[in-house]
Structure formats: C-alpha cells, structure tokens
Amino acid sequence: MTTLLINSIYRATEGEGIHIGIPQIFVRFQGCHVGCVNCDTKETWDFDPSYTKSLDEVMEQVETLSQNIIKRVSITGGDPLHPSHIPSLIELIKELKNRGYFINIEAAGTRIVKDVFDQVDFVSYDFKTPSTTVKTSKELLLKFLLEYGHKAQIKAVVADKKDFEATFDAFHFVKAQGSAPTAPWCLTPCFEPGEAFPMNRFQQVVQLNEQFGLPFRVIGQQHKWVYGPEAKLV
C-alpha cells in the first residue's frame, strides 16, 4: 500500500506567482530539510510519521474538495521533492493524472527530479535569495530552464536590495547562455514576522524592478492580504 506524509489537503485560491487568483486543491507534504529561515510553514519541517496517509485517503479528500469542478492540484510542502517522498509522490501524480487533474509542483530549487517533472503540467521553481540562507545553484537553475522552462516559473522571495541583486545576477547568468527558454520570473516581497503588510518593502522591490527595467513580475502573496499573514489553509 502506498503511503504519504501529508500535512494538509485543502481547497484555496492560488496566492502567489503567475497563477494567482486561480482556485485549486493544495496537497501539502510533511517533511523538509531545506531550512529557509524566513519560511512561513516551519510546522511542515519534521518527518513526523503521525502525518501518514494512504494514497486512497489522499485521493478521497482531493475528490471531495474538487467536486469534479476544480481540476487543478498544487503539490507543495514541506519539500515534496525530498528523496524520501519521491516514490509515493510519483504514485500520487499518476493517480491525479488518471483522474484528469492539472498538476503544479512547488520545487525548492535544490534538485531536478526528472521522473516527477516529466509527468507534471507545471513546475514552480524557487531561486533562493540570500535572506533565506539557502543557496540555489545557478548552474542547476540553468539546467532546469533548458529542460523545463517551457512549463515553469521562477519564484524568488525578496527581503531587501541584496536579494534583488542576487536574483538580477542569476537572471543575467541564465540570459548570457543564450539558449535557455524564457520562463516568467516572479519576485515576492517578503513578509517578516509580525508584519500586517510589507508596504515599504513592496514599494522598494517595485521601484528596483522599474529602475533596472527587468522582465520580472512583482507579485505579492494575495492570501496574506485577504486573510492575514498568520492564516493557514488559505
């Protein structure tokens, strides 16, 4: 029997990136070793076996929430691409595809998993900025874009000018290769703990993007505006 470590399954509206505003079902894996210091879901980091669900249980929840109306699933975490998750993740993807779901997967930017990326419809790939304290390899980013740029977006959380400049540098590294397919790059102004809305930071990121004339899209986190920065399952 296929089992998965699942933190939560819920219906909500996409709040980030180029698909912002689209209703979908979120399947959030439990367990992550990436360790971004500004992560807003640190409760998903441990690999607690009490979160174990069977594939049948997961699909039953997805189908109940979908009502055969919402046929989009976003697989997130935690880190759904942690090696320990891969076998069960692949089985989940197969079952979702058999039932006609569009699948997005959230990728931390730490690895390329061909067996997963080949099967999903879209990959939201993180470029980790300095404020996260996690480093994304520019060479790995380039390889990802060459293979999957036609069905992907690059997302970067930006806390300050240093983060913007790091993303700027990565973009130009990729651009300089000349052969990487174009994928949209989205900058997400960071929420710090206790902030209701990062107005000054949002303005700074918008102004930097205008100043440098880059093809980045500055897109905030809609769910945090609507429900508040501490709300979960939204």
Residue set of the binding site for Mg(2+): 41
- The annotated binding site for S-adenosyl-L-methionine is made up of 78
How far is residue 106's CA from residue 77's CA, in Å, rounded to a whole number? 8
Sheet-wide strand order for 122-126: 52-54, 3-13, 23-29, 72-76, 102-107, 122-126, 152-158, 185-189, 216-218
- 3-class SS of residue 155: strand
- The annotated binding site for substrate is made up of 13-15, 28, 76
Residues 6+ apart with CB under 8 A from 139: none
Residues 6+ apart with CB under 8 A from 117: 105, 107, 123, 147, 148
- Say how many C-beta atoms besides its own lie within 10 A of residue 20's C-beta: 16
Which token pair is 41? Answer: 């879901």
- The annotated binding site is made up of 13-15, 28, 32, 36, 39, 41, 76, 78
- The annotated binding site for [4Fe-4S] cluster is made up of 32, 36, 39
